[in-house]
């Protein structure tokens, strides 16, 4: 009897180990992890297919239109640590400052920072470099306020995702993709030769994104389906895929791009989106997608 019980227990343990190993080795799971698609991994759903007896993974298909992204850009900026009243009151009390995190800085849970923005001390001498503020620089009241903030906003170290679209969302500080998730798609539809899911974006919206991200040169060849954007901090280039055809890939320094976009405000970029997209308003007259000589517009007005 004892031998039978031990054999049954060994069988159950072996079965569970095999099942866990099978689930953990899912290729769909790997391409939908946070290291692959960044913050969008929070919307990934899991399920078990009884028919095929395997793990099913569903990733979010996002609305990548310029209006949707800009509204979420504004929301992300308003929810950043620099906009928190308690944290900003600490900054004002010491005459410290907010600035984007640099790639050479080591940010921990005790640093007054979120994933992209850090509080820095004031320079005491000209040669001294402002350093990130930590809990050791705070008094007890400020320490408790910061710990309460950290309890509500847990520390998450910035991870550069593999997907190009996820990197762009990270640059814009967009952490919550739930509000612009169109639907959940089966990760098995992603070609096996790709290590991340793809998102679709219109050419006009892509040009708008390239502008607000600070790309200095954009080349467009519609007949050959080529798009290239260049910046001192990175590039967006067209690559050929044997399965999906022409695809776009972003390569660059995420923190440097974020520092560049932080020089302005998301709201000002949102208000200028019509002008950036090539629409010029003359009073109640608005040209949308049509080019008019200035003389014609002058006569019309």
pTM of the model: 0.80
Are residues 95 and 122 in contact, defined by beta-carbon separation less than 8 angstroms? yes
pLDDT digit string (tens) for 63-103? Answer: 999 889 999 999 999 999 999 999 999 999 999 999 999 88
Residue 236 has pLDDT above 90, yes or no: yes
Look at residues 41, 71, 68, 38 and name the one whose alpha carbon lies nearest to residue 200.
68
Are residues 185 and 59 in contact, defined by beta-carbon separation less than 8 angstroms? yes
C-alpha to C-alpha distance for 203 and 240, rounded to whole angstroms: 17
Q: Is 73 helix (H, G, I), strand (E, B) or coil?
A: helix
Residue 263 has pLDDT above 70, yes or no: yes
């Amino acid at each position: 009897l004892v031998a039978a019980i031990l054999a049954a227990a060994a069988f159950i343990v072996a079965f569970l180990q095999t099942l866990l190993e099978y689930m953990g080795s899912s290729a769909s799971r790997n391409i939908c992890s946070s290291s692959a698609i960044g913050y969008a991994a929070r919307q990934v759903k899991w399920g078990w297919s009884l028919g095929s007896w395997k793990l099913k993974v569903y990733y979010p298909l996002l609305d990548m239109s310029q209006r949707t992204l800009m509204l979420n850009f504004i929301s992300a900026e308003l929810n950043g640590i620099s906009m928190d009243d308690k944290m900003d009151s600490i900054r004002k009390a010491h005459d410290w400052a907010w600035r984007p995190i640099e790639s050479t800085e080591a940010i921990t849970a005790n640093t007054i920072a979120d994933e992209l923005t850090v509080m820095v001390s004031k320079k005491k001498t000209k040669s001294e470099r402002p350093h990130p503020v930590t809990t050791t620089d705070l008094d007890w009241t400020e320490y408790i306020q910061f710990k309460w903030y950290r309890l509500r906003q847990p520390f998450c170290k910035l991870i550069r995702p593999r997907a190009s679209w996820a990197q762009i969302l990270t640059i814009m500080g967009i952490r919550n993709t739930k509000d612009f998730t169109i639907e959940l798609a089966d990760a098995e539809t992603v070609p096996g030769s790709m290590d991340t899911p793809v998102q679709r974006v219109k050419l006009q919206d892509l040009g708008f994104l390239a502008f607000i991200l600070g790309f200095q040169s954009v080349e467009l060849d519609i007949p050959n389906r080529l798009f290239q954007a260049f910046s001192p901090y990175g590039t967006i280039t067209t690559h050929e895929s044997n399965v999906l055809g022409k695809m776009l890939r972003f390569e660059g320094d995420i923190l440097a791009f974020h520092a560049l976009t932080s020089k302005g405000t998301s709201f000002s970029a949102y208000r200028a989106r019509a002008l950036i997209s090539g629409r010029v308003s003359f009073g109640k007259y608005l040209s949308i997608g049509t080019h008019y000589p200035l003389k014609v517009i002058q006569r019309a007005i």
